Amino acid sequence: MDKIEKFPQLVPVFQNVENIIGKDTYDMWLRPVDVSFENTTLIISLPNQFWGKTIRERYEHIIKDSFLKHLGVEISIIYQIAAQEAPVPVLSAQDVLSATPAVSPVVKKIPFQSRLNSSYTFDNFIESPSNRFAYKAAEAAAHKLGARENNPLVIYSSPGLGKTHLLHAIGNQILKDNPDARVLYMSGEEFVSEYIEALQNKEAESFRKKYRTLDCFLMDDIQFVSGKEACTIEFFNTFNALFESRKQIVLSSDRTPQQLEWDERLSSRLLSGITTEIKRPNLETRIAILRQKRDSINFDIGDDVLAFIAEGIQTNVRELEGSLFRLVAYCGMHSITPTIPIAKELLADILTSGTDKNINVNTIKKIVGKRFNIKMEDFNSKRKTQSVAWPRQIAMFLVTDLTDLSLPEIGREFNRDHSTVVHARDLVKETIEKDPFFAAEINQLITDIKAVDNH
């Protein structure tokens, strides 16, 4: 969605869509399309018909809901196929027959799909002490493909700190230096699902071949491959084949290689190149990132407001950017200049207040679990039976009430998105107001939780 920057008010709308359908699905189906927006009509430009069918059937209602929620408008959607840059003429049978036989038929080479997102580059990645080593290692890997000292490169960090950005930046840099290089970006989730599909279609061999011819393999979120026996083996084989032919491998993970709990051989190979962590950015870096985003969308917003947002969002660059876009969209729609009070009001659900409440999520889960007799893992499971769902909602409410975590952070603690947390919080609040016995029970839980943490 390169053109979305022309429509800053759409950024939070699509951010919300991404939150709902998940980043990988979003990257797969929505990031490659372009959109424009006039009155209440959204025009989506697609690479091909098939794309439109998928978006219409699976995601159209989510997009519409998201417009309603964020911009308060009911929209209609028009799909159009994006103009090809250089259309390939369709030859009729006659053309073919009358063509001079001396000319051998030109076989049009299907370009290799690298799946890279061109908007993530080294240039627009802010270097800072928290990511410097990862940044330098990524640059080195891009410039000296497959060199022993940089291979494999493993980058890990908690979510939203720039792993995906750096992986794409490496790929984009390689293609800039050599447009014919075979670079493939893929998430662990895609690897797993494509491998399973290949097995079902008895195409495991061509699946394998595809990877073994690469110059650089960028695999994001490799934690998804863990724990799935056949996929781990396939990954191991792919990894070894590339590694032994000195092809560059770059991997990212949301945990350390040790925590992936892979078998000894794979772990030691993973650790044989460079392993580097991206840490949380400091305040100056967060401000620098916001400044860069502001300049890229060309919106008038003061440094004081940027500093205020940067103070309030400390753990996740994605949320930092999301907040800026939300503020820009709101102020753009109402033709007002962003100020700190507006930011404070609009971002109240996500800014941390800075007060140090020392209660952690596990304590809350433990106490609530004990009271309702449910297991720790039930808080994160998909089970929806009332006996589990209600205590889970109570725990979510207590976390919103007793900790400083943002809604998306709380969502992650329960393996859900932030809208589920909002729903749980409001439902429990409502019940407390209506039912004094329930209110007393919640008070007791709070007392118990505080007692544990005071020990």
Task: Mention every residue, 6+ apart, whose C-beta is less than 8 A from residue 392.
Answer: 374, 378, 379, 414, 424
DSSP string, 193-248: HHHHHHHHTT-HHHHHHHHHT-SEEEEE-GGGGTT-HHHHHHHHHHHHHHHHTT-E
Residue with smaller CB distance to ligand ADP, 157 or 275: 157
Least distance from ligand ADP to the Cβ atom of residue 377, Å: 24
- Judged by CB under 6 A, the residue of 35, 71, 154, 161 near ligand ADP is 161
Site for Mg ion in 136-175 (CB under 5 A): 163-164
Cβ-based nearer residue to Mg ion, 117 or 164: 164
Indicate the DSSP class of residue 33: S
The answer to whether the CB of 309 falls within 8 A of the CB of 347 is yes
Q: How far is the CB of 7 from ligand ADP (least distance, A)?
A: 17
Q: Closest residue to ligand ADP, Cβ-based?
A: 162
Q: Let me know: does 379 contact 416? Beta carbons within 8 Å.
A: no
Partner from Mg ion, ligand ADP, none contacting 321, C-beta within 5 to 8 A by type? ligand ADP
11-21 and 317-333 are packed helices; what angle lies between their axes, rounded to 10 degrees?
Answer: 140
| 167 close to 185: Cβ distance less than 8 angstroms | yes
Among 15, 157, 253, 393, interactor with ligand ADP by CB under 6 A: 157
Write each residue from 268 to 307 as x if it is in contact with ligand ADP (CB under 6 A), else as -, in one continuous string.
---------------------x------------------
Grouping H, G, I as helix, E, B as strand and the rest as coil, residue 76 is strand
Q: Does 321 bind ligand ADP (CB under 6 A)?
A: yes
Nearer Cβ to Mg ion (158/381): 158
Site size toward Mg ion, by CB under 5 A: 2
Query: Cα(73)–Cα(13) distance, rounded to whole angstroms?
Result: 11
**Which residues, at least 6 apart from 122, have a Cβ–Cβ distance to it below 8 Å?**
135, 138, 139, 142, 169, 173
Q: How far apart are CA 319 and CA 327, in angstroms?
A: 12
Q: Which of 19, 66, 117, 164 binds ligand ADP (CB under 6 A)?
A: 164
Q: For residues 237 and 259, which CB has a smaller minimum distance to Mg ion in the complex?
A: 259
Among 247, 294, 318, 365, binds ligand ADP (CB under 6 A): 318
Annotate each residue in 126-145 with x if it binds ligand ADP (CB under 6 A) or - if it does not, as one string. Answer: x----x--------------
| Nearest residue (CB) to ligand ADP, 160 versus 391 | 160
Question: Which one of residues 37, 59, 125, 325 is an interface residue with ligand ADP (CB under 6 A)?
Answer: 125
Classify residue 169 by burial, with Cβ atoms within 10 Å: 0-12, 13-18, 19+: buried
Distance CA 380, CA 392 (A): 8
User: Could you list the residues that contact ligand ADP (CB under 6 A)?
Assistant: 120, 125-126, 131, 157, 159-165, 289, 317-318, 321
